[in-house]
Amino acid sequence: MGAIRELTKKSGEKSYHAEVRLKGHPPLRDSFRTKTRAKKWIQDTEAAIRDGRFKSQTASRKHTVGDLIDRFSEYCLPKHPKYYVKKVQLLQRWKEELGSLYLSDLSPAHMAQVRDKMLNETTSKKSLRSPSTVNRYIAAFSKALSVAIKEWGWIDENPMLKISKPKESRGRDRYLSLEEKTRLLDACKTSSNPYLYSIVSLALLTGMRYGEIVKLKWCDINFEMRFMTLHETKNGEKRVIPLTDDVVKIFQSCPSYGAKREEVIFKSRQLTATKSPISIRKTFDRALKIAGIEGFRFHDLRHTAASYMAMSGATQGELMTILGHRTPQMTRRYAHYSQDHLKKLLEKTNQTLTNVSKQGDTT
């Protein structure tokens, strides 16, 4: 049953405290400025409880956006140490913008306003923040809201799902032609960095990311069984890549070949002091300049590897396994096809159709 208490404040203003008590349910209370609203709340609440439609907003009125982000950062993010710092930075922006809001007041309009503000801001690189970066901010906060729904019961729905994400660019289509590939490798051979040629060659032969290559240790390489194990990958899953004869030769030609099993293969000159991974940015840029290659980045070597694998007949499933992709969409994005390859494919198809037609004429 419902009950209403009338209270008078020191200022003389009246308020009405409503309470609903039904068997099998915890007591529910709320305050209103008028008795009419208090009665309506009691009627609606009792009807919703009996029909199984009631959803309490007590927690959402008690906790703020800042409370949610703090709890998520303290208890959930430490489970993913690899991304902890970055995720905290992304969530901190939402806390700065909306931290004082109670969760019950948080609406899609609030988040859309922050989204648009971030899209129109100039970054440290003196350019507008990219849609893909803004989507990472959205994804981080959306995850925290989902946990608040499923595990904490602080809110009943995720308002982030009601706003649209900025449309991202289609991605880069840059990859090396055979001639450019030869020129780049020749330039890498003359580099002052003893590991540049090996690192670039591995990227071209295996499609590995830069971070995956420079973190390799000798214990990750199994020369006897002919495979290497990548323990730290972008999607967090372990990946195994077969060793071809060319890849084996690259490892055996490394200056660190024969070192202790726990040592990294591509040693940084500052590794002992800073524990930082090897950096080849300057020497790689210099090699590109010597080779006369423009508009190319190290990650494009992964595009190149995927494209040549696809042109060599690799299936989508095989590419996903080698590159470590979870979705076919990512594989399709990387596996570009050269115009020469497509031309030969069409010529082969046309020739097949011509042969079939000739056979039909002779019968």
pLDDT of residue 346: 74
pLDDT score recorded for residue 253: 93
Q: Is residue 316 part of a domain?
A: yes
User: Which segments within 75-232 are labelled E, that is strand?
Assistant: 221-222, 227-230
Q: Are 104 and 63 in contact (CB under 8 A)?
A: no
Please tell me the distance from the alpha carbon of residue 131 to that of residue 118, in angstroms, as a whole number.
9
Asked, for residue 348, whether it belongs to a domain, the answer is no
Contact (CB, 8 A) for 191 and 184: no
Same domain, 28 and 106: no
* Confidence (pLDDT) at 249: 95
143 Cβ contact partners less than 8 Å away, ≥ 6 residues apart:
72
**C-alpha–C-alpha distance, residues 308 and 136, integer Å:** 30
The secondary element (H helix, E strand) that includes residue 249 is: helix 245-252
Beta partners for residue 264, in sequence order: 217
**What pLDDT was estimated at residue 2?**
84
Strand duo 28-32 + 14-20: pairing: antiparallel
What pLDDT is recorded for position 60? 80
Range of the domain at 311: 178-341
Which pLDDT value is given to residue 273? 42
- In order of 38, 61, 265, 307, 342, the CA distances from 300 in angstroms are 64, 49, 22, 10, 21
pLDDT of 274:
43
Q: How far apart are CA 66 and CA 92, in angstroms?
A: 9
Same domain for 186 and 317, yes or no, is: yes
Give a yes or no: residue 204 inside a domain.
Answer: yes
Tell me the pTM.
0.63
Q: Facing residues of 241 across strands?
A: 228
Low-confidence stretches of the chain (pLDDT < 50) are: 271-274
- 285 and 192, same domain (yes or no): yes
Count of domains for the chain? 3
Does residue 266 sit in the same domain as residue 250? yes
Question: What tokens does 283 get?
Answer: 């020497």
Q: Are residues 41 and 66 in the same domain?
A: no
> Which of residues 118, 135, 162 is at a domain's end?
162
